[in-house]
Amino acid sequence: MSAVESFINYKAKTGMQCGNYSIDLPKLKPGEQYRFHFDATKCIGCHCCEVACNEQNNNPFDVKWRRVGEVEGGVFPNVSQIFFSMSCNHCIDPWCLKGCPTQSYIKLDNGIVIHDDEACIGCQYCTWNCPYDVPVFHEERHIVTKCHMCFERIENNQTTACVQACPEGAIEIEVVNKEEWLNGKIDEEGNAPGLIDARVTNSTTRFTLPENMPKTLEPADRDLIKPAHKELPLVFMTVLTQVSFIGFLALLLGDIASKITSLPEPNFAMAFTVFALSAIGLPLSALHLGRPVKALSAMKNLKSSWLSKEALFLGIFTALMGVVTLFYYFEEEGFLRVVLEIVTAITGTYGIYAQSMIYKIPAKPTWNRKSTTYRFFSTGYIGTLILAAIATLTKDFSVVNILLSLSILLGSIQMYLFYESQRFYDTIKKEDPFYYQISRAKKLLEKDFKKLYGFRKNSLPIGAIFLPLTAVIALNAGSSSFAFLSIALAVLISFGSELAGRLLFYSSAVKTGMPGNFFAGNQR
């Protein structure tokens, strides 16, 4: 018997899937699905699975649906080096699916999660949402793509590309009963060093790990820190819509106050300005998309996607503000305008809340905090500064004092949240499950973005507190010109500060994913 024949016979007798063109899987019973099994005791880190996956799916080198990571630990000479190969975990509760605004993810009856390329608009929200960093943006196609477990091959009893290519048989396809998995061994066999807790998405991948592993294993690329994508369209869009919202709230309060006090009514210039900020900012989000012409389809998944809710409610908010602005232009006063403003404010409140919830995801620990929502709302202190500048020009000085007081209050909250985030970075402990991501984010802020971070730290108190206080003093001292100059300067500095802060928010967000993944492709 030749060596090849001996090898084939051995595989047939042992039931090994690697090297075989066909696969013999049992028929699925109710409550069962397919999953990957990865045996870390067999993987030698050859990356054959990556290459085979890319060849099978005609992906460029920087788009990897399967990736090999590396962790290491121990004390010399008793050191350990462990490789991990991972693609999509075909989770029971996939965050990519429930977060996608265009419903581009589908979980088949066999449990495999596939991606509908035609429906995708390239928003890349799923690349943030997935705590395993599985979906990857395809620059040439302008959409997100991901592993689909070669489901067409499985349906034809053919072996998946990665399983077939692995020379050690470290990857296999197997059947799992979902209820038994969740009530049984998911905590023991669903987790691996450096990966997020499997219960976050109820991942189905089963890991076989070496015995007597070191207690502490670190990613082999722990010293390689790469900033996240800048997301410039979103930097401007989020700041402008938040400023517009708080500006509109001030407009509403002013309109109500004018009905019950001697304060003058807000004017058309104020209404138009806060409307224009959102009308300019909201469409900028389309520039973030791979397929901007399909932007309107982002509202398809209102049931579970915060991005869909943000798009709808902020769109309605902006449209209603346009109507309110027309009321001011035609000097239509009275009860109807106030009611419309209240409805607009409620819509905007939910829109900004939904906007903040987009970022409260387990995969991005520096985003996934209550303070994110507070920061998004308090950013709007600039809106009251802008209205104060307009009121100064119209010589409504009593209104200016009120608006500056509101601005200083919101600015103080924003300052508190900034220093609270500094304490968050400084007090993180190694025992924290997200220490790796948060400590790397801190290094980005203090090294890669040192100058920008310094500008943010120094400009925030000047624009949010010092200059508005100076304007209050100047106004009450009878110098309206100096007050206007102080307010205008506060607006410019505060805008610069908030844009810098939002740029840092995106660029320093280190997400969870495959540990030690030196050869990561186009992950955002």
Mean pLDDT by 10 residues, the chain (524 residues): 65 63 87 97 93 94 91 85 94 96 97 97 96 94 96 92 92 96 95 95 96 87 88 98 98 96 96 98 96 96 97 98 98 94 98 98 96 98 98 96 97 98 94 93 96 98 98 96 98 98 97 80 46
> Can you list the pairs that 48-56 forms with residues at least 24 positions away whose Cβ atoms lie under 8 Å?
48/165, 48/166, 48/167, 49/85, 49/161, 49/162, 49/165, 49/166, 49/171, 50/85, 50/519, 51/165, 52/161, 52/162, 52/164, 52/165, 53/87, 53/147, 53/161, 53/162, 55/161, 56/150, 56/161
Residue 73 has, within 13 A of its CA and on its CB side, a CA count of 16
Predicted local confidence at residue 521, as pLDDT: 47
Phi then psi for 396, rounded to 5 degrees? -90, 70
Q: CB 54: neighbour CB atoms within 10 A?
A: 19
Cα dihedral 428→429→432→434 (10° resolution):
50
Predicted local confidence at residue 518, as pLDDT: 67
Predicted local confidence at residue 1, as pLDDT: 63
The pTM (predicted TM-score) of the whole model is 0.94
Q: How far is CA 164 from CA 58, 170, 173, 519, in A?
A: 17, 10, 11, 22
- Residue 64 in contact with residue 45, Cβ under 8 Å? no
- Residue 58 in contact with residue 39, Cβ under 8 Å? no
